[in-house]
Amino acid sequence: MKARQQNGWIPISISLVLILASTFLLNQNVRAAGEGSITGKVTLSGTPPHERGIDMSKDPYCVKQHANNPVHLETVVVGQGGGLENVVLYISQGFNGTPTKSTAVPVFDQKGCMYTPHVLAMGVGEQYKVETSDQTTHNIHPEPNPMTGNIPWNRSQPPGAAPIIQSWKAEEVAIPVKCNIHPWMHGYFVVVKGPYATTKDDGSYTIENVPPGSYTVTAWQETYGTQQQKATVSAGKPTTLDFAFKAK
């Protein structure tokens, strides 16, 4: 309440601007006869690193949640066919409008003392929701880079508490978020300007609603950093763009 009160005007004004802009943009889109999309697969070449197991013995509740499925770190998650999960792809250059907002609010859930998803991508000023499905209290503590102007926050969420709705006012790749009560709980918020997508467990992704034009697409992975590729999108049909990270 207090914190929000202080700088409540920032999200409000930003979202206002967004609404106006997007309506304006929509008209454009109508005139620009449909949009394209960028799709593809992100893979990891080489042997993925050993992921340490997580010992949750500190909190019996968490231990119970994973009684028969031991959990490991999620710094590098490789799915079938070398597909790399939790990679965020976004248009870093060439796009200067406002992306059409998807109606679905990005949700960051705390489940079995882990973050699902491990990496949550969202647009600048876009509202996201932090929920808890656990019967133990977590605290959510994103630590953005002070230079970006994003304001760090740190709040607890007791079992059954209402979701926390927040948004970031500046682009930042990526904001580490952690739970101090359960130190192994660690994830990322990725805040980008343009359209974005996150890879599924098979490494596939699709960036929707990309107006025709030529762009630079950046893929970010928490361990291996970023890769960039150029792509030209034409109206109507999807453009394919694959990324391959090399295991260190």
Partner 1 sequence: MHDVRATQEVKHHGPPASFIRKYIFSIDHKVIGRQYYGLGLLAVFVGMGLSWLMRLHLGWTSLAIPGLGWLNPVGAPGGLMTPEYYLQLMTMHGTIMVFFVLTVAPFAAFGNFFLPIQVGAEDMPFPHINMMSFWVTFAAFAVLISSFFFGDGPSLAGWTAYAPLTAVGSIAGPGQGLGQVLWAFSIALFCVGQLLGSLNFIPTTLDLRAKGMTFSRMPQTVWAWFITSCMGLTAFSVLMPACILLIMDHLIGTSFFVPSNLVVSDQLQPHSGGSTLLWQHLFWFFGHPEVYIAIVPAMGIVSHVLITSLRRPLLSWKTIVASMVSLAFLSYMVYGHHMFVSGMNPVSSLVFSFPTLIITIPSTIIVLIWLGSIYQSRLRVNSASLFALGFISMFITGGVSGFFLAQPSLDIMLHATYFVVGHFHFVMAVAAIFGIFSGTYFWFPKMFGRMMNEPLGKLHFWLTFVGVYGIFMPFHYLGLAANVRRYQAFVDDYTTRLVPVHQFSTIFALFTGAAQLIFLYNLIHSRFWGKLATDNPWESTSLEWTTTSPPPYDNFGGRHPIIYHDPYQFGVQTASGTDYIMQDSPEESVSEETRSSS
Partner 2 sequence: MAKLLAVTILVIAAVSAIPIEEHIWTAPADISTHGPLIDSQMSDTMGETGLCFLAGQFVLALFIWMYSGRGREHRIGRFPGGATGLVIAAFLIVGTEVIALGVLGSKAWAQVYFAPLKPGAMTVEAQAGQFAFYFRYPGPDGKFGPIHPEMISDATENFYGLDTQNDPASKDDIVTAEMAIPVDREIQLWMHSKDLGHSFYVPALRIQQDFVPGLDLSIHFTANKIGKYEIVCTQLCGLGHYNMKAYLEVMSRQDFDAWLKQQAALQ
Residues at the contact surface with partner 2, assessed by CB under 8 A: 52-59, 73, 75, 136-137, 139, 154, 156, 176, 178, 180-184, 186, 222
Considering only 155, 184, 208, 247, the residue that binds partner 1 (CB under 8 A) is: 155
Q: Residue 58: which of partner 2, partner 1, none does it interact with, CB under 5 to 8 A by kind? A: partner 2
Closest to 190 (Cα-Cα) out of 70, 89, 68: 89
Closest to 167 (Cα-Cα) out of 116, 104, 124, 105: 124
Considering only 8, 34, 70, 159, the residue that binds partner 1 (CB under 8 A) is: 159
User: Whole-number minimum distance, CB 200 to partner 1, in Å?
Assistant: 28
Q: Residue 134: which of partner 1, partner 2, none does it interact with, CB under 5 to 8 A by kind? A: none
Cα dist. 86→77, 185, 223 in Å? Answer: 7, 15, 11
By CB under 8 A, residue 3 contacts partner 1? yes
Cα dist. 115→86, 211, 238 in Å? Answer: 12, 33, 31
> What's the distance, CA 48 to chain centroid?
22
Interface map 179-218 toward partner 1 (x if CB under 8 A): -x--------------------------------------
Cα–Cα distance, 79 to 11 (Å, whole number): 37
Considering only 65, 92, 150, 157, the residue that binds partner 1 (CB under 8 A) is: 157
Buried b / exposed e over 88-104, threshold 16 CB at 10 Å, is bbbbbebbebbbbbeee
Q: Residue 161: which of partner 1, partner 2, none does it interact with, CB under 5 to 8 A by kind? A: partner 1
The region of 42-50, 118-126, 174-182, 216-224 touching partner 1 under the rule CB under 8 A is 174-182
Q: Are 52 and 72 in contact (CB under 8 A)?
A: yes
